[in-house]
Amino acid sequence: MTAVRFGLFVPQGWILDLVDIEDPVEQFETMSRVAQAAERLGFDSAWLFDHFHTYHRPVLETTFECWTSMAALARDTSRIRLGQMVTCNGYRNPALLAKMASTVDVMSHGRLDFGIGAGWYEHEYLAYGYPYPPVPERLAMLREALQVITAMWTEPYASFEGVHYRVSGAINEPKGVQRPHPPIWVGGSGEKVTLKLAARYGDATNFGGHLDDMGWYRHKWDVIRAHCEAIGRDPASLVRSTDVETTLLGPGDDPTALTERYRRGQPLHEYRTHAVVGGPQEVIDTYGRLIDAGVDYIIVSDLPGLARLEVLERLAAEVLPAFR
């Protein structure tokens, strides 16, 4: 079977994946242990969400902040790459964000993958006092932010004058370890703006949620290919990634009960349109269809039981070898 790289969302609390642990210190140590286990088991990367409180409804449960957690994981691990899927552009000034990312890239000895998107979680914006502009404005802000961040990472004195952001001779030292800069992962599937930004500024794309329609993925790759060709870029230079909500069933597992926390009120049959729920062979087959549709990087998410590590060990032993 075609080789593909695998990443893993580690437990962070956003999807209520730490509610069975009471002590917040132990909750964080669980997140760290899972990242370390993923490193030991050969995953290419560990990922965090950039959110402040739980989804799909805000409740009084732990959600660890993304970038401070990144810094900790940078020191708790030694080989696995570390990414955010994705940093919400509206939550931080892009010049500051570029500085933070450069610092984490140094702390991790050059293992940062920098994920960024326009942002979408309106309730969270408003709860934390951020303005929530309409989609076209958020996308315009993302376009400018990518220019600011790239300048901060590549120019001795970064300057940029835009509608939403400006920097004037900003110094960002050190700029990070990776050259020309940490890989930029642009999240989102919008064809007119987001995928065009990925083609121009990104090293990777990320979108998904349509396991019932592999033609959807093929169409998106066609759009990306056209955007790349329009600017003279080789489309093969972009990583094509997707997140896959995965429930790996064991003998006797009840799929309805096991997925209840992750389905967010959806009936199981609807959940399965964007998530794989099944034994090892069904998971292998689903991942295989994604690869056939053009995916070359799969990030496993919403994995019930991940905090206890056993299911991660099973995934690494019973699923991943089919792709190596």
pLDDT at residue 2 greater than cutoff 90: no
Structure tokens of 12? 């962070």
Confirm or reject CATH 3.20.20.30 for domain 5-323, answering yes or no: yes
CA-based nearest residue to 101, from 166, 43, 207, 184: 184
Mapping DSSP to helix (H, G, I), strand (E, B) and coil, where does residue 267 land?
coil
pTM of the model: 0.97
Q: How far is CA 263 from CA 106, 213, 251, 281, 306, in A?
A: 38, 19, 21, 22, 16
Q: What is the DSSP string of 176-219?
A: -SSSS-SPEEEE---TTTHHHHHHHH-SEEE----TT-HHHHHH
Q: Kindly report, residue by residue over 273-321, the tens digit of the pLDDT.
A: 999 999 999 999 999 999 999 999 999 999 999 999 999 999 999 999 9
Q: Kindly report, residue by residue over 87-146, the tens digit of the pLDDT.
A: 999 999 999 999 999 999 999 999 999 999 999 999 999 999 999 999 999 999 999 999
Q: How far apart are the first and last CA of the chain?
A: 7
Q: Kindly report, residue by residue over 20-78, the tens digit of the pLDDT.
A: 999 999 999 999 999 999 999 999 999 999 999 998 889 999 999 999 999 999 999 99
What Rg, from alpha-carbon coordinates, does the chain have?
19
**Mean of all residue pLDDT scores within the chain:** 97
Structure tokens of 222? 């066609």
Residue 118 · residue 194 · CB < 8 Å: yes
The pLDDT score that the predictor gives to residue 56 is 84
3-state helix, strand and coil shares in percent for the chain, rounded to the nearest 5: 45, 15, 40
Cα–Cα dist 105/111, whole Å: 6
